[in-house]
């Protein structure tokens, strides 16, 4: 029976892949169908399977739905008020031409903490074109910097949905995910940019094959909103929730009894709520009340499908947990080798395969983390390293079935090969560095 559960898992994954790739159903529906098959085939019974699917969805949403929603509203207000553009232009203006590419990548990293990848790219692509002209570097350099910076933050740094869900699924403190994900993501992005620029210097890019020759943006004077927030004010909604969460994590580590006010304010829901409220206040100088309301409505439209897919991933995870498969997988890995490095490599490969097949980094990471949830305890490692491995794998292989690929490629005026060389390769290099850091981390700081 134990072996058959692994067979049911493979078949349920095949159902998910088939319904997404061939039937073109939404990933959330595909995940629920796969969950239904997995539960019934494994002997949970139809009624118990349905209840478990609902419980799994609800449990994950309890932990992340409000924080993600507040985070998306925060990012949309920052974008619509002009604050995101202020951050971008200020970061570039304060940097010498020598470091302009890295400044652009760091700006993309910073903006992608509260803002979805696609929105970050749309905001920054005109700036990337202007910087390319200013420093006399071909566009692939600036686009690559943006792709790497934004991809790293969106995948590894909370409060974006994937790393936020990681702490919930793998049961560890969100503040640890904030610290590790942000620091490792930032360092991996910087190193990936360096490698990517070296590859461009060595002749990776072929303008005739990799560019369409169609100018996507024409140079024009930048429009400025009335009441646009300053650079410092624009940073407040981004930094405030992170600081609050980290205060709770640090105090929990050094104190036996944390004051209740700290516990409340450092809770991820409260912290993101405060961040969203600060974004409302700061945006009011540039936006009317109706415009703020419209901005929030647009934000929730974009995050609704993300939450639905993420929650459906939670349902699949709950079914896997109910069958006992996650524990069996942990025991299997432990019997093969107790090495945490092997466990991390397996997680990375599984997430990468899901990303290649499905295109969705969210589905890839959520599904892999639920499958590997019992492994960290079995091999003696802190679950944050498993989270980094799963998230890195989900970043590694974005290509033509990924919406981010087409946003980056089309807005940059690149061909498909140009998109593969910039979006796919840039993110893959970042993923490899992040994975290396996860391996080092689990060996140096196991628990």
pLDDT score of 221: 41
pLDDT score of 214: 63
pLDDT score of 222: 45
Residues of the chain predicted below pLDDT 50: 1, 217-222
Q: Which two tokens stand for residue 326?
A: 């996650």
pLDDT, tens only, 256-313: 788 899 999 988 889 989 999 999 999 988 888 899 989 888 877 767 777 888 788 8
User: Which of 382, 348, 434 is closest to 171 using CA atoms?
Assistant: 382
Quick count: other Cβ atoms within 10 Å of Cβ 255?
Answer: 10
Quote the CA–CA distance of 197 and 142 in Å, as a whole number: 10
pLDDT score of 429: 97
pLDDT, tens only, 198-226: 999 999 999 999 988 765 544 444 455 56
Quote the CA–CA distance of 53 and 55 in Å, as a whole number: 6
Q: Which two tokens stand for residue 248?
A: 């709770």
- Location of structure tokens 């790497």: 148
pLDDT score of 2: 66
How many domains would you assign to the chain?
A: 1
Q: Which two tokens stand for residue 19?
A: 């319904």
Q: Which two tokens stand for residue 222?
A: 């930048």
pLDDT score of 218: 45
- Tally of CA atoms within 13 A in the half-sphere of 386 that contains its CB: 34
pLDDT score of 117: 82
Which residues constitute the domain of residue 200? 2-444
């Amino acid at each position: 029976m134990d072996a058959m559960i692994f067979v049911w898992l493979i078949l349920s994954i095949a159902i998910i892949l088939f319904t997404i790739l061939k039937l073109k159903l939404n990933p959330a529906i595909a995940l629920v169908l796969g969950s239904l098959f997995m539960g019934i085939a494994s002997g949970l019974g139809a009624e118990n399977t349905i209840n478990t699917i609902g419980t799994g969805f609800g449990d994950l949403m309890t932990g992340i739905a409000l924080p993600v929603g507040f985070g998306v509203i925060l990012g949309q207000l920052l974008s619509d008020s002009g604050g995101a553009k202020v951050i971008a232009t200020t970061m570039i203006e304060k940097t010498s031409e020598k470091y302009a590419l890295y400044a652009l990548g760091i700006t993309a990293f910073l903006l992608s903490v509260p803002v979805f990848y696609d929105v970050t790219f749309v905001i920054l692509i005109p700036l990337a074109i202007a910087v390319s002209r200013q420093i006399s570097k071909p566009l692939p350099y600036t686009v690559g910097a943006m792709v790497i910076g934004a991809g790293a933050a969106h995948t590894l740094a909370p409060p974006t949905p994937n790393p936020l869900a990681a702490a919930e699924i793998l049961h560890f403190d969100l503040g640890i995910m904030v610290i590790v994900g942000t620091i490792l993501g930032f360092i991996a992005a910087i190193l990936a940019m360096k490698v990517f620029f070296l590859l461009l210097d060595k002749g990776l890019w072929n303008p005739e094959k990799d560019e369409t020759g169609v100018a996507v943006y024409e140079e024009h004077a930048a429009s400025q909103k009335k009441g646009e927030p300053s650079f410092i004010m624009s940073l407040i909604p981004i930094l405030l929730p992170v600081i609050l969460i980290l205060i709770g994590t640090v105090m929990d580590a050094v104190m036996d009894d944390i004051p209740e006010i700290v516990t409340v304010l450092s809770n991820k829901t409260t912290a993101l709520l405060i961040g969203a409220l600060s974004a409302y206040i700061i945006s009011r100088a540039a936006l009317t009340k109706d415009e703020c309301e419209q901005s929030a409505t647009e934000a929730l439209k974009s995050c609704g499908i993300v939450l639905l897919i993420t929650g459906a991933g939670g349902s699949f995870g709950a079914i896997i947990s109910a069958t006992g498969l996650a524990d069996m997988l942990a025991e299997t890995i432990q019997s093969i080798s107790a090495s945490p490095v092997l466990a991390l490599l397996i997680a990375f490969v599984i997430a990468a395969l899901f990303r290649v097949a499905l295109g969705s980094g969210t589905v890839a990471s959520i599904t892999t983390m639920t499958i590997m949830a019992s492994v960290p305890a079995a091999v003696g490692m802190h679950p944050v390293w498993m989270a980094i491995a799963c998230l890195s794998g989900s970043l590694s292989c974005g290509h033509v079935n990924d919406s981010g690929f087409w946003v980056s490629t089309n807005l940059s005026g690149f061909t498909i090969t140009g998109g593969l060389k910039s979006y796919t390769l840039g993110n893959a290099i970042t993923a490899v560095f992040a994975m290396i850091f996860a391996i080092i981390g689990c060996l140096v700081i196991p628990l």
